[in-house]
């Protein structure tokens, strides 16, 4: 018996590491623990609809945007973060629905772009914040998109800053794996127009995506689902060839109904895309960005701040003009 055990250990140790290691730390599937996706009752679109019942745009915005399951973003504005995430997933759990959350508070956030600059005051402050974020979710089912743009935003960063960022993301995944066993975490991987599939696969791997459930694409962007699906598959081919594993991915379809015109900051003529659902070429198609929320002081959102709800932009996005 001892000889058999030794032989088994030797055989396992001879396997490539990627094949001997489970590709995901989570066995639970939060989609099977719930009866559909949660509609945020306090989204910017919901608040605008409630405050403007007599506006001629209200009916369309209510029907096409406000009642579609969309992610809630959490950052420094969220107050005590564990309380905030706990209350949100708790409300969803009480309704047997699956909540979508975005963690958006990494140190040096949007370091190169600047429109959404901010985040935690230091790497250690971020580690504390994200630990509380995960602790608030605890054992309840949830989907989390981890730090949009963080792996695409390397253009003006030093190698030391890149290493620091990747370490923060790896630490975040460890907290979710430890504290939130029924949460699927998707590490953000930018979009097809940002970095090559080979480059993104390397960044994902170095930031610890092996310990995530998957990766996310097209957050707050406009590229078509087909473009993102092709890119996600290409990233997976690179992950498989280099590191021996692949990951599921999700696509933000909230504003990609007309595709992209090459601009990312409040471009005109965009349209809402396929509502939140499972499948569709990716593991899930999700509304991560609320249609009508500004990308910043730019484009058709001139004079606005990032995240501000612009009803005219939302209304035009429903019809694609």
Q: Could you tell me the residue ranges of all domains in the chain?
A: 69-290
69-290 CATH: 3.20.20.40
Residue 218 to residue 52: CA distance in whole angstroms: 31
Cα 132 → chain centroid: 18
Q: Given this model, what pLDDT does residue 99 score?
A: 98
**DSSP assigned state of 16:** -
**Does this model's pTM top 0.95?**
no
User: 218, 254 in Cβ contact below 8 A?
Assistant: no
187: helix, strand or coil: strand
Smallest CA-to-CA distance from 204 within 219, 191, 185, 188 is with 188
Q: Given this model, what pLDDT does residue 8 score?
A: 37
Q: Give just the sign of the alpha carbon dihedral 10, 15, 16, 18.
A: negative
Residues 6+ away with beta carbon under 8 Å from 289: 70, 71, 219, 220, 252, 254, 255
Q: Given this model, what pLDDT does residue 27 score?
A: 60
Does the annotation list 293 as a binding residue? yes
**DSSP assigned state of 73:** E
Q: Which residues of the chain are modeled with pLDDT < 70?
A: 1-27, 114-115
Q: Given this model, what pLDDT does residue 115 score?
A: 67
Q: Tell me, yes or no, if 153 is annotated catalytic.
A: no
Q: Which of 149, 153, 188, 252 is catalytic?
A: 149
Residues 6+ away with beta carbon under 8 Å from 251: 216, 217, 218, 225, 228, 229, 232, 280, 281, 282, 284, 285, 286
User: 220, 184 in Cβ contact below 8 A?
Assistant: no
Residue 102, φ and ψ in degrees, nearest 5: -120, 125
Does the annotation list 287 as a binding residue? no
Q: Given this model, what pLDDT does residue 81 score?
A: 98
Measured in residues, the chain has a length of: 321
Q: Tell me, yes or no, if 40 is annotated catalytic.
A: no
Does the annotation list 264 as a binding residue? yes
């Amino acid at each position: 018996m001892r000889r058999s055990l030794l032989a088994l250990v030797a055989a396992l140790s001879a396997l490539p590491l990627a094949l001997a290691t489970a590709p995901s730390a989570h066995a639970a599937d939060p989609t099977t623990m719930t009866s559909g996706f949660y509609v945020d009752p306090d989204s910017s679109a919901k608040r605008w609809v409630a405050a403007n019942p007599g506006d001629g745009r209200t009916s369309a915005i209510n029907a096409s945007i406000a009642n579609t399951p969309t992610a809630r973003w959490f950052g420094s504005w969220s107050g005590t973060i564990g309380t905030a995430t706990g209350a949100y997933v708790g409300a969803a759990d009480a309704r047997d629905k699956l909540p979508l959350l975005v963690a958006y508070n990494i140190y040096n956030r949007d370091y190169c772009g600047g429109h959404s600059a901010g985040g935690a005051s230091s790497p250690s402050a971020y580690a504390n914040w994200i630990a509380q974020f995960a602790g608030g979710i605890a054992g309840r089912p949830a989907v989390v998109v981890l730090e949009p743009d963080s792996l695409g935003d390397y253009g003006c960063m030093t190698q030391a800053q890149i290493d620091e960022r990747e370490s923060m993301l790896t630490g975040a995944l460890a907290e979710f794996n430890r504290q939130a066993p029924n949460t699927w975490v998707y590490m953000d991987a930018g979009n097809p127009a940002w970095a090559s599939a080979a480059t993104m696969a390397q960044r994902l791997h170095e930031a610890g995506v092996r310990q995530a459930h998957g990766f996310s694409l097209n957050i707050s962007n406009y590229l078509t689902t087909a473009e993102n699906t092709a890119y996600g598959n290409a990233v997976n081919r690179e992950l498989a060839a280099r590191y021996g594993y692949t990951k599921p991915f999700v696509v933000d379809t909230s504003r990609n109904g007309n595709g992209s015109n090459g601009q990312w900051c409040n471009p005109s003529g965009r349209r809402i895309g396929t509502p939140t659902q499972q499948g569709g070429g990716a593991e899930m198609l999700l509304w991560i960005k609320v249609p009508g929320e500004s990308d910043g002081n730019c484009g058709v959102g001139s004079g606005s701040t990032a995240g501000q709800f612009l009803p005219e932009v939302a209304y035009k996005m429903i019809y694609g003009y």
